[in-house]
Amino acid sequence: MIAALCVLAQAMPLDPGRHNILRPAAPQGSHIEWLYWVIFWIVFAVYVLMILGFTRAGAKSKSDAIYPLPVFEDKEGDERAKWAVGTAVAVTVVTLFVVLVLSVVTGKKAAGLTSKNPVTIQVIGHQWWWEVVYPNPQADQTVTTANEIHVPVNTPVVILTNSSDVIHSFWVPSITGKRDLLPGYSSAFWIKIEQPGIYRGQCAEFCGLQHAHMGFSVIAQSVEDFQAWQQQQLKPAAEPSNDETGRGRAVFLTHACLMCHTIRGTDAGSHFGPDLTHLASRNMIAAETLPNTRGALAGWILDPQRIKPGAEMAPNSLSPDDLQALLAYLQTLQ
């Protein structure tokens, strides 16, 4: 048993990873982590006691005679057992009640932010990417992006969920528990992040072929940085400044790209795929699967099926010059 635990400990990564429930970075996650540990230690104690009991009981075993020993009765033992079992059941009931109360209280704490002026973000699940909308009564004040969610620190944020196709689930382990994105329902929950940083999330409800590659990130910034980001996102796409980027835009508008993607300020206005107006401002592409570098982008555009087989984006055959021009143009879309 000890050896096994040692082996296990060695297999544990020194870096706990980018998605760790037990390393929360927000108050909601912290409340849940606290509750986790309380219940864990309770059940751990129960397990140890029970195992000690069974071990001792089993260790009293007779050397196994080949033939069954005679059946016997132990009335005195049964009397003592009645008290022991009765007490154990009573302790169990009380313990479970305590767990219930703690659980309900923690649930209320984790859900319990209220604010008159939250930042509202709509997250709409697609197979296999996240549509992110910051709604505003005025259409030209509405930010639309994909796979990267920016929030200001220390500000309550309401996430409104929906799905355009199948059930997905929005989950950022370091922030809070998950919430399913259900078609036909719009479910709201709050988060509030206190430390700036990048927090990775992943889809947590099986949604088809590329469920494994449907990640996203939540980027918490200072209020000023957040507002600056918002302003930048509201601007239409940058105009091409030289021949190459001009050619790149032409490639975009004459190939399959505009059938699925929007670049505001051009004729490309389809909402089937992610909005690319500010593609270059994002850290990752393909739903947190690839870094947003020229090389990765090239590989993705030429053959998305090699990276995410089954994705809705078909391969594109482009001449090397067209590809370079397109990449140059896309990299201007800050």
Q: List binders of other proteins among 255-294 (CB under 8 A).
A: 289
Q: Contact region for other proteins (CB under 8 A) — 143-151, 174-182, 221-229, 275-283? A: 174-182
Least CB distance to other proteins at residue 321 (A): 31
Closest CA to 30 of 171, 220, 151, 175: 175
Least CB distance to other proteins at residue 306 (A): 11
Among 6, 94, 198, 208, binds other proteins (CB under 8 A): 208
Q: 174 near 25, Cβ under 8 Å?
A: yes
Determine if the peptide bond prior to 128 is cis (ω within 30°).
yes
Q: At what angle do helices 320-330 and 294-302 cross, to 10 degrees?
A: 120
Closest CA to 177 of 166, 187, 165: 187
Least CB distance to other proteins at residue 255 (A): 26
x-marked contacts with other proteins along 312-331 as a string, rule CB under 8 A: --------------------
Whole-angstrom distance, CA of residue 285 vs CA of residue 307: 11
Helix (H, G, I), strand (E, B) or coil at 158: strand
Among 184, 267, 317, 319, binds other proteins (CB under 8 A): 184
Q: Does the footprint of other proteins cover residue 189 (CB under 8 A)? A: yes
Rounded to 5 degrees, φ, ψ at 123 are -115, 120
* Of residues 122 and 245, the one with the C-beta less far from other proteins: 122
Q: 270 near 280, Cβ under 8 Å?
A: no
Q: Contact region for other proteins (CB under 8 A) — 140-148, 187-195, 246-254, 319-327? A: 187-195
x-marked contacts with other proteins along 125-144 as a string, rule CB under 8 A: --x-----------------
H or E, element range at 94 = helix 75-111
Among 27, 118, 158, 165, binds other proteins (CB under 8 A): 165
Least CB distance to other proteins at residue 4 (A): 7
Q: Does the footprint of other proteins cover residue 68 (CB under 8 A)? A: yes
Least CB distance to other proteins at residue 310 (A): 6
Q: Cα–chain-centroid distance for residue 111?
A: 17
Cα atoms in the 13 Å half-sphere on the side-chain side of 217: 20
